[in-house]
Amino acid sequence: MSSFHAWRTGCFSVTQKSAVHFVPTMGALHDGHGALIQAARQAAGDDGHVVVSVYVNPTQFNDASDLSKYPRTQDADVDLARCCGADAVVFPTSEEMYPKGVPGRAEPSDYGALTRLWEAAHRPGHFDGVVAVVRALFEATNPVAAYFGEKDWQQLAVIRRLAALEFPELDVVPVPTVREEDGLAMSSRNVHLSSEDREGAKALYSALQSVVRSDGADEEAQKQGELLEQAGHRLDYFAVVDAETLEPKRMQGRPGRVLIASHWGGVRLIDNVALEG
């Protein structure tokens, strides 16, 4: 493990000749992250170099308490990353990510609905911070491919737009959501759920599946949202959207996505599932 400066100094001769397959994370790694690393390892083969970064980015948290509660498990992160095939695990410092100092708020990024609706509306400044740090990470690692989970679908869409505009040679690779046996999407925040709250949390995936079975009917999404709220969930949104633009009106024949965000058991949970075109 190392800072970016130490990694570049020690490994530059290797990475100069090897294609970098990059997995950026905020740590507290679980099997969902493991799937990203394994996908990178498979794509990199014997000649590529799989690099995992761990950096809890302060500019993408609009709630200071959320930042302070975010789990830090550095030794376990290194072990999991290595077991899944990482060649290097780097821990960038804030000085490396923000040479001019960590700003109170990152420079705004306007990607239309991607940075205006859903997560963006409920977490002001969040995607500005995501774009700022991912841009810095891409510039530092110069990867040929970067791997992101579909669980954070809106983040994936934002990163795709960033890459298209600023890193056109970079392949942004989506990796399917990894779920617990009960259907709950794996998340670093799940550790804050009690066993009782876990029971209620799995209702999100059931609600998403019901909307899929209805072929994405807005009426079914409204019905399922009401049932969740009656059970005690506090929803930020539950919506059927265009999978690419995230606009709430999906045109016939285009793939869609069902998005949900809920506060439950003191934890904010997000999830999504695909709708075929």
| Residues belonging to the active site | 33
DSSP 119-169: HHHHSTTHHHHHHHHHHHHHHHH--SEEEEETTSHHHHHHHHHHHHHH-TT
Which residues fall within 8 angstroms of residue 62, CB to CB, at 6 or more apart?
123, 124, 125, 126
| CB contact at 8 A, 263 and 236 | yes
Q: Please state the length of the chain.
A: 277
Dist. CA 197–CA 214, nearest whole Å: 27
Strands 20-25 and 49-54, by their bridges, are parallel
| CB contact at 8 A, 40 and 21 | yes
- Identify the H or E element spanning 275: strand 267-275
Q: Alpha carbon of 69 to those of 66, 72, 189: distances in Å?
A: 5, 9, 9
Site of tokens 């099997």 = 31
